[in-house]
Structure 1
Amino acid sequence: MATTNSSLPRVSVISDFKEITKMRLSLSVVFSAIAGYLLGATTIEVSTLILLAFGGYFMVGASNIYNQIIERDLDALMSRTKNRPIPAGRISVNSALIMAVIFTILGIATLYIINPRTAMYGAISIFLYTSVYTPLKTKTPLSVFAGAIPGAIPFMLGWVAARNAFGIEPGTLFAIQFFWQFPHFWAIGWFLFDDYKKGGFYMLPTGKRDKGTATQTIMYTIWTVLISIIPVFGFTGDLKLSIVAAIIVFAIGLGMIYFALQLFVKRTELAAKHLILASVIYITLLQIVYVADKFIR
């Protein structure tokens, strides 16, 4: 009995750490950064991969902690977030702030070891997410545009970590993940519309679950897919894509477009949930196909 009781606090600490740093989101960001690095690297250095993974996690973790500190009172109003560590009282604001500052320092320092340019983009990401995107969420649907910028940095960040330079290649990777975030977050905003409303968040472009929002979701989905196959045409520098890989990416993209169309037709929470899943599958498979294509060619 004593052993069981003594293990409970540790389990709680681990689960709270996962929650306050949004571990699944942070790991997906690390995955994007590593994919970008593998695409840009001429020689793969394991030490750089490790630094990028830890630096990326610290960077995103810091952003998420700052976000939850700022939104703690609003999080308490929503069913989805009311049990987060800060609004639930398991972690104090001061403790969370100390953790966020430590993560910020560790993240920027770790990325700086790779190269200063990578650290700079990491710092920009934290600043935009915390100081621009988070405050705008309760004021305007344009917050999604602001949030799409730091959200698109990780894929690009990996390339910059590999090449210590910004150009057409990381710019293209940035554009892919930038446009992808609109259908992804609008689908989330649609699915969680009622809960977001309790916290005063209006994430949808028209502010409503209507045809206007669904139409814009379709448009941005199509743009995402078109941008994703641009490297096949050969004018994105060292970022290349074979015809076979482009066909695969396009086919996966058609699946995402299908679910965006389904949202327009049905306009239900279930249709939005399907689009969320389709968007996650799309960006994950796209990155895998891009990397695999580089090493198979």
Structure 2
Amino acid sequence: MYLCTRKKQHKHIVLDTVKPALTRPSLISDFKEITKFGLSISVVFSSIAGYLLGAIVVDWWTLVLLAFGGFFMVGASNAYNQIIERDLDVLMDRTKNRPIPAGRMSVNTAFVIAILFTVLGIVSLYIINPKTAMYGAISIFLYTSIYTPLKTRTPLAVFVGAIPGAIPFMLGWVAARNDFGIEPGILFALQFFWQFPHFWSIGWFLFDDYKKGGFFMLPTGKRDKGTAVQTIIYTVWTILVSIIPVFGFTGDLKLSIVGAVVVLLLGLVMLYYAFELFRKRSSKAAKQLMLASVTYITLLQIVYVVDKFI
């Protein structure tokens, strides 16, 4: 029996020794985490969609510069954010294993990445045209210097954060036309209003975790009817803005009747889940709304682009 016990103990020791080696994040995964690679790619997708909507003739070199510039700018913003919030990230389950709070990356290393990405992003966008670089720089400034500090002070932080969050879609149009008019204004407004149901749904199902870090993400500060009602209102605004181009007074940004019907149906699906959040007021309903919002904005951008070229 003693030998059996020793074998079992030895087996546990081996497993305990091997497991960290298998689950320990790599340098690549830490780099992806500090720059929020997935989010950065989604922003690049929005920028490219905006460019294709605005382009009279597609210039592939501009498209490449926009993709890299957008990726660098978002990566820089997220790196700055994680540097600033490193002490708060330790307190929350969803962020405590990030590279800086987990001790796998120093603040200096993260800062070098942030600075490098800022420079590369601005240069890439400036090569396209100065206006594109300016809006990219404004996005970094608002996200890092205003939105991030406000998150622990007021629910209005979501309003401020919605501004840089809405820039990528219209940034693509500005990259294509070197001009800001009603067309990129509509693209900005569409993604601006969309931010609210998207982030409030996240703030709802991560409420307890955000509370540990002292973040104010919901408009009323609570998971109540007030928050749910405001989520519905901003979802409705999102839907209304999304179909405006069908009426023909948004310049070169146009949408066919078929395209508008598809976009409207997509919006109604998101609105359904917003009402479900109001009805159930549960974390599950909030997660469903979040997933519906991501699906909505992705498919909407695809529909807009396809509608233009068909």
1:61 paired to 2:79 = no
TM-score, structure 1 as length reference: 0.96
Please show how residues 150-189 of structure 1 align to structure 2 within 5 Å: 150-189=164-203
Provide the rounded CA distance (Å) in 1 between the counterparts of 2:27 and 2:125: 27
1:83 paired to 2:112 = no
Aligned to 2:32: 18
Provide the rounded CA distance (Å) in 2 between the counterparts of 1:175 and 1:150: 12
Provide the rounded CA distance (Å) in 2 between the counterparts of 1:102 and 1:263: 41
The alpha carbon displacement at 1:9 in A equals 11
> Residue 47 of structure 2 is aligned with which of 20, 29, 33?
33
Root-mean-square deviation (CA, aligned residues, Å) is 1.4
**Measured at CA, do residues 26 and 90 of structure 1 come closer, stay the same or move farther in structure 2, by a change above 3 Å?**
same
Aligned to 1:227: 241
Q: How many pairs are equivalent?
A: 291
Please show how residues 170-209 of structure 1 align to structure 2 within 5 Å: 170-209=184-223
Provide the rounded CA distance (Å) in 2 between the counterparts of 1:274 and 1:158: 29
Provide the rounded CA distance (Å) in 2 between the counterparts of 1:135 and 1:174: 23
Instruction: For structure 2, list consecutive stretches of 5 or more residues without a partner in the other structure.
Output: 1-17
> Residue 141 of structure 1 is aligned with which of 155, 171, 196?
155
Deviation >2 Å, runs of 4+: 7-11
**Measured at CA, do residues 10 and 161 of structure 1 come closer, stay the same or move farther in structure 2, by a change above 3 Å?**
farther
**Measured at CA, do residues 75 and 249 of structure 1 come closer, stay the same or move farther in structure 2, by a change above 3 Å?**
same
Q: Residue 229 of structure 1: SS of its match in structure 2?
A: helix
TM-score, structure 2 as length reference: 0.92
Tell me the alpha carbon deviations over residues 101-127 of structure 1, each in whole angstroms, 9 at most, x when there is no partner.
000000000000000000000000000
Which letter does structure 1 place at the counterpart of 2:293? S
Identity of aligned residues (%): 78
1:259 paired to 2:270 = no
The alpha carbon displacement at 1:202 in A equals 1.2
The alpha carbon displacement at 1:287 in A equals 0.1
Tell me the alpha carbon deviations over residues 129-152 of structure 1, each in whole angstroms, 9 at most, x when there is no partner.
000000000000000000000000
Aligned to 2:232: 218
> Residue 130 of structure 1 is aligned with which of 119, 144, 153?
144
